[in-house]
Amino acid sequence: MMDALTLAVIQAGLQQVCNEMDIAFSRSAFSPVIAEADDRSDGIYAAADGALIAQGELGLPVFVGTMAHSAAHLVRLIREGAVATPEPGDIYIVNDPYLGGTHLMDVRFALPFFVEGELFCWLQNTGHWPDIGGMVPGGFSAHATEVEQEGLRLPPVKLFKRGVLDREILSIIQSNIRVAEQRIGDIKAQAAALLVGEQRLREMVARYGLATLRDAIAGISDRAANRMRAEIRRIPEGTYKAEAFVDSDGVVNEPLRIALTVTRAGDELHFDLSDSSPPCQGPMNSVWATTCSAVYLAMKHIFPDVPINAGTFEPIRVARPEGTFLDARYPRPVSGCAAEVSQRVAEAVFLALAPVLDIWAAPAGTSGNFALGGFDPARNAGYVMYQITGGGYGGTADADGLTNGCSTIGISKTAPVEVMEQYYPILFRRFAIHEGSGGAGRHRGGFGVHYEVELLRGEAKASFVMDHGRFGPPGVRGGGDGARNVVRLHRDGETTIPAHLSKDQGLRLRAGDRVEVMTPGGGGHGDPFTRDPALVARDVMRGTYTTAQAESLWGVVLRDGVVDEAATQARRAAR
Amino acid sequence: MADGVIAGIDVGGTFTDLLLRGADGRIHLAKVPTTIANQADGVLAAIEAAGATPATLDLIIHGTTATTNAVLERKLAKVGLVTTLGFRDVLELGRRTRPNPYGLKGGFEPLVPRELRREVAERMDARGAVVTPLDEDAVAREVRALAAAGCESLVIHFLHAYANPAHERRAGEIARGIWPNGHVTLGHELLSEFREYERGTTASVNAAVQPVLDRYITRLQEQLAARGHKRDLLVMNGNGGTVSARLVSRDAAKTVMSGPASGVMAAAATLAQSGLRNAITYDMGGTSTDVALIAGGVPEVSAELSIAYGLPIHLPMVDVRTVGAGGGSIAGLDRAGMLRVGPESAGSTPGPICYGRGGTRPTITDANIILGRLDPARLLAVKDAVSLDSIREVFARNLARPLGMTVEQAAEAVIRLGNVHMTGAIRLVSLSKGHDPRDFCLFAFGGAGPLHAVALAREIGIPEVLVPARPGLTNALGCLVADLRQDFVNTINRGLFEIPEDEIAATLVMQRDRGIAMIQADAPALDDIIVLHSAEMQFRGQTHLIRVALPHADMALENIQKAFEAAYFARFRVELPEIRAVLVNLLTTVIGRRPSFPLSALLDPEARRGGIDAARIGDRDLYADGAWHRAAVWQREKLTEGAVLTGPAIIQQADATTVLEPGSRAIVDAIGNLRVTP
């Protein structure tokens, strides 16, 4: 067996190769989604089956599991002769969601890594392109009913052949997407990142030799599996159930149900999602790779110290939920799967295990996409604006939840108000805490955001892809639910809400109209009647809850803002 | 012009260090314990320990951690905020992040709690046009309310004040008429840059540390004056320059990260006198390691640093990245039996086992003791002596036996893996700035830097290690050599060719004039005043900024465009002629150059005359590359110029230990640096 030091050093080295690819990609990418929001990921995959060898620590969490699926499909298609055989210097491009992807905007590049003429592994990355064509700019449709409406779908093809960019494929891509001239910058950055990885990996091969590297990769994977098994043994044997709901699919106004059963058997965890809703008409279907990855990323959130490679997820068995909206097949539309559905799947995992692990109540769990497309007469130019927002995180056993936390699947920051107002004909009337939104509990949920945007000039159309408009993020262990997501349109003196609450598109706005959004708070953790009354009084003083809420939610009676101890005791005892 | 007798005094977490240069050019040192309650006592003790008195000093340059500690320990002034109607929660909402990529735990408390964040009607748009006029009565009302609530410090922070500060200025006038002291911070005065959360947080940090710094500096000045010192101090800022004590509190936030900055400035001065231009500075301490880049002789400066999660300070500061690994990093096996080093740290309390303060888990420092790299008799922070056998026993139990290794092998594995992690961190810091670390030398200082630097350089492939004459007094040296410095940033954020040329020149000239006025306000002896203009630019659609030097204020737009394209190509190797450039920020740095002095004086020339044999103080067993070696032990202070040492060897001095790995070779250069080929 390999010695412990070599194993640890090679593990750190492979990790470093991936981290350097992540950095190289972000620092030269054009798309703000990649450069600022880090909506990308880089990794190394096995030649034989696409299994994950190592993945960058700076990548977007949702890609934790998807790229191994993508690599596996690529390896299979090459073996079947459906895709051309790799040669040194090639880079494949693919964004097909059904071949191990997410939504169409997530474009994968894969570079075959050869040593002495033999394929040793794949270097692969994913980057979220700001547009991939389709019926709405940016790709987050609320109304698509087939994948063709969502944009350009690329099967695996060689974008670079023996190191040379294929201008013909490039021109097909550029003819089918918006703001095409900037994409050449992203394509160069995405390919350059893989070349950085190739060079660094070559240095490792030279230093350690192929045989040692192979042994170490196997050893690292075994260790990760053992590590995950050890973590799993902390969960009491048994079966745990939870459900989570997507508001609607954007087309049919009915909730979609995620039904999860988790079983700990020995040192494995089995995830069964087969009782979930059938495939839906609108774009809230999830492809298998994304569903599976959502379970993986939830487990990585729960056990953050476990390194990520194929072994990590070996003891996590997710049964493919055939016949449900979580295993969408062509041509089901899927643009909501990465941003929203994956977060509901992760929420179900959290809710199932929260009773037996020291974790959190449900987080807001929506990316809060609000897109505004219009024409600015002052600049005589069209524009597409994206506003994303966070929400409250769930309370934990030790603390209240974080306010305005990032989506579960992301790590990206939002743009400042001052930057948005520089670029678009809008004025924010408010950017504030969503008061009262944190679910009650011994430790309450964090707060969502409450913002209001006014259109200053011209006309525009608003689209929303959000969630938790129908039910708030659930509390756990006796905690209350966080507040729901609310969208209001104030147009021409009238206030309306979208029929699907959190999803709609093409809503016409004129100058002076306003859009108001309140994002969800996190769920509460523990019995609210056991919360320290002083903290309840503090929150009331800060204006985040009312005196009446202090009494109804927490059983705390306040007189002029001061806790009435006797009345509080009586109120709490009388429950 | 000469300065006369000058002292650089740096207050660190444990020690207060002083370097004093006499009128005769000779250097005197002092190292005394830091006095936590009042740092001024330690400063006076250090002056005394160096055989001087405040009355005999012509100039004192001072680096203080008073504000750093205040922020980290949250011992801050109570701050009130007056802001734009609808936006009081900006400081609490941040920009939708979480403390760690994985795990949905953790949080932060904003510096100003919600009940002390008040709103007034007013609004500018992004072009600086008034949307809603300022409600002056509301300003007076809210300012009174905040004073009545016991706030000691006030921030006025309005949306788009960088574009038009009229409302902030007027509100400031009203507030200053009401506020019981001078602690009023206007957001745009400190930082005239867009991004409301970062600008507002920066202003809040300033307000929160201003009274703390003001009290400390006032007390120190009084204590010095009472002992006959006649001049104002110069105080170190995070930008690597100094500012007069009379002005320092106004922009108090600039001192928050000054400690690491002064180390880097000392490195830059040392490099300049060593004929080198590129270095990665590597300052390894007990709990963390500071890494910075010096390219072309100039330390990199960034305005995008954070003190902690949720606490960005967007002021130009020497770009020092902190890696959470140090001598106290703990080694162990994970649940699957895999060897791990860090990220958990024993810190300074309980610290490594060898400190005898209750530490029970193996650390990197303990591994150094086992392998003979570090002499336990020379540790500065030990409470109760711990036997080598008991340290070895912990390594045997926790690491060696489960891994099937000898104790020495386990200890070496811990050091090696720690170095691998450090290597990764150093590579990421340099690569994220577009540099290959192999083009740099490794400038090692701090207590533990020289201990690991040679092995680390081998791991990365760095061709040369430089250990300065006084690795443990680098921050004090940074004070001694620092220039005066003022930085200014104004946001423009328009397409380059949409900007009137005279607007660029007018902004830069305004920045320059402010800087020169501030530097001349209390100038000590200056050789020169240097003005550096630059622009931060990007291609339309991009978010990363590229800094472009502007040779003078009056630049034609075409030439700015050309300079940007050249800088972009140098960094990314990509030409993008089809995309338009945006000028985001205009920046000016004004430097008041103080007289330099020869760093060869740092080592006493008398002590270095004995020849190479006089410097050899013995031998010690050193474990390296899997075997015990007999290593020569040298006394650093006695090494003569041109002396050549070969590894395995150990070089000891009062403030640090340098290890030469087997096969490495060191030469002592003209100013006393060890130049090691790893």
Q: How far apart are the C-alpha atoms of B55 and A538, rounded to whole Å? A: 52
CA A540 to chain centre: 33
Q: How far apart are the C-alpha atoms of B115 and B184, rounded to whole Å? A: 18
- Whether cis (ω within 30° of 0) applies to the bond prior to B350 is yes
Find the mean pLDDT for residues A280-289.
97
Pick from B87, B93, B194 the residue to mutate for testing the A interface (most A CBs within 10 Å): B93
pLDDT band at A386 (very low <50, low <70, confident <90, very high): confident
Q: How far apart are the C-alpha atoms of A406 and A411, rounded to whole Å? A: 6
Residues B473/B311, Cβ–Cβ less than 8 Å: no
What is the predicted pLDDT for the residue at A426? 96
Find the mean pLDDT for residues B341-359.
86
Pick from A402, A447, A454, A455 the residue to mutate for testing the B interface (most B CBs within 10 Å): A402
Average pLDDT, chain B: 91
With 50 as the cut, is the pLDDT of residue B196 above it?
yes
A11 at B interface, C-beta within 8 A: yes
Regarding predicted confidence, which is higher, B10 or B570?
Answer: B10
Interchain CB distance below 8 Å, A188 and B574: yes
A22 at B interface, C-beta within 8 A: no
Domains and CATH numbers, chain B: 6-71+214-255 (3.30.420.40), 72-213 (3.40.50), 329-418 (no CATH), 483-593 (no CATH), 608-677 (no CATH)
pLDDT band at A182 (very low <50, low <70, confident <90, very high): confident
Q: Which of A4, A390, A417 sits opposite B96 (nearest CB)?
A: A390
Q: Is B559 exposed, middle or buried (0-12, 13-18, 19+ CB in 10 A)?
A: exposed
B69 at A interface, C-beta within 8 A: no
Residues B412/B371, Cβ–Cβ less than 8 Å: yes
Regarding predicted confidence, which is higher, A413 or B280?
Answer: B280
- Whether cis (ω within 30° of 0) applies to the bond prior to A331 is yes
Residues A123/A110, Cβ–Cβ less than 8 Å: yes
Interchain CB distance below 8 Å, A32 and B493: no
What is the predicted pLDDT for the residue at B610? 79
Interchain CB distance below 8 Å, A404 and B96: yes
A446 vs B contacts (CB less than 8 Å): 107
Which A residues, 47 through 76, put their C-beta within 8 Å of a C-beta on chain B?
57-58, 61
pLDDT band at B566 (very low <50, low <70, confident <90, very high): confident
Q: Establish how many alpha carbons lie within 13 A of residue B406's alpha carbon, considering only the half-sphere containing its beta carbon.
A: 9
What is the predicted pLDDT for the residue at B335? 83
Nearest CA among A543, A483, A486, A482 for reference residue A516? A486
pLDDT tens digits, residue range A29-67?
A: 877 677 777 789 999 999 999 999 999 888 888 887 899
Lowest mean pLDDT among A33-37, A427-431, A455-459: A33-37
Find the mean pLDDT for residues B276-305.
90
pLDDT tens digits, residue range A471-501?
A: 999 999 999 999 999 999 999 999 999 999 9
What is the predicted pLDDT for the residue at B543? 63
Find the mean pLDDT for residues A110-123.
97
- Count the Cβ atoms, other than its own, within 10 Å of residue A367: 27
Q: How far apart are the C-alpha atoms of B349 and B358, rounded to whole Å? A: 8
A216 vs B contacts (CB less than 8 Å): none
Q: How far apart are the C-alpha atoms of A487 and A496, rounded to whole Å? A: 9
Find the mean pLDDT for residues A533-556.
98
Q: How far apart are the C-alpha atoms of B425 and B285, rounded to whole Å? A: 15
Residue burial A81-99, b: 16+ Cβ < 10 Å; e: rest: eebeebeebbbbbbbbbbb
B102 vs A contacts (CB less than 8 Å): 61, 300-301, 304
With 50 as the cut, is the pLDDT of residue B605 above it?
yes
Find the mean pLDDT for residues B87-100.
94
With 90 as the cut, is the pLDDT of residue B325 above it?
no
Interchain CB distance below 8 Å, B126 and A400: no
Residues B122/B133, Cβ–Cβ less than 8 Å: yes
pLDDT band at B545 (very low <50, low <70, confident <90, very high): confident
With 60 as the cut, is the pLDDT of residue A1 above it?
no
CA B257 to chain centre: 5
Pick from A3, A5, A302 the residue to mutate for testing the B interface (most B CBs within 10 Å): A5
Amino acid at A477: R
pLDDT tens digits, residue range A233-276?
A: 999 999 999 999 999 999 999 999 999 999 999 999 999 999 99
Interchain CB distance below 8 Å, B114 and A431: no
With 60 as the cut, is the pLDDT of residue B2 above it?
no
Q: How far apart are the C-alpha atoms of A308 and A14, rounded to whole Å? A: 11
In the numeric block, the tokens 């740095």 are attached to B589
Interchain CB distance below 8 Å, B543 and A394: no
Find the mean pLDDT for residues B297-301.
88
Which B residues, 486 through 545, put their C-beta within 8 Å of a C-beta on chain A?
493, 539, 541-544
Both structure tokens of B438:
């192999």
CA angle B175/B176/B182 to nearest 5° reads 125
The full DSSP string for B407-455 is: HHHHHHHHHHHHHHHHHHHHHHHHHTTT--GGGSEEEEETTTHHHHHHH
What is the predicted pLDDT for the residue at B1? 39
B130 vs A contacts (CB less than 8 Å): none
With 70 as the cut, is the pLDDT of residue B381 above it?
no
pLDDT tens digits, residue range B215-246?
A: 999 999 999 999 999 888 999 999 999 998 98
Lowest mean pLDDT among A84-88, B84-88, B591-595: B591-595
B335 at A interface, C-beta within 8 A: yes
Q: How far apart are the C-alpha atoms of A208 and A216, rounded to whole Å? A: 10
Which B residues, 410 through 439, put their C-beta within 8 Å of a C-beta on chain A?
413, 416-417, 420-421, 423-424, 427-428, 431-432, 434
Q: How far apart are the C-alpha atoms of B14 and B69, rounded to whole Å? A: 12
Domain regions of chain A by residue span: 4-226, 360-527, 533-573
What is the predicted pLDDT for the residue at A565? 97
Find the mean pLDDT for residues A201-220.
94
Q: How far apart are the C-alpha atoms of B242 and B245, rounded to whole Å? A: 9
What is the predicted pLDDT for the residue at B523? 66
Compute the radius of gyration of chain A from its Cα atoms: 24
CA A515 to chain centre: 25
Q: Is B166 exposed, middle or buried (0-12, 13-18, 19+ CB in 10 A)?
A: middle
pLDDT tens digits, residue range B126-136?
A: 989 999 999 99
In the numeric block, the tokens 């946001």 are attached to B491
CA B534 to chain centre: 22
H/E stretch holding B472 reads: none
Q: How far A299 CA sits from the closest chain B CA (Å)?
A: 9
In the numeric block, the tokens 């190292």 are attached to B31
Q: Using H for helix, E for strand and C for coil, what is the string for A77-109?
A: HHHCCCCCCCCCCCEEEECCCCCCCCCCCEEEE
Nearest CA among A90, A88, A114, A123 for reference residue A210? A114
Q: How far A68 CA sits from the closest chain B CA (Å)?
A: 19
Residues B20/B28, Cβ–Cβ less than 8 Å: yes
pLDDT tens digits, residue range B484-493?
A: 998 898 988 8
Q: Which of B103, B336, B338 sits opposite A304 (nearest CB)?
A: B103
Interchain CB distance below 8 Å, B89 and A363: no
Interchain CB distance below 8 Å, A227 and B413: no
CA angle A320/A326/A329 to nearest 5° reads 85
B106 vs A contacts (CB less than 8 Å): 399, 402
Q: Is A180 exposed, middle or buried (0-12, 13-18, 19+ CB in 10 A)?
A: middle
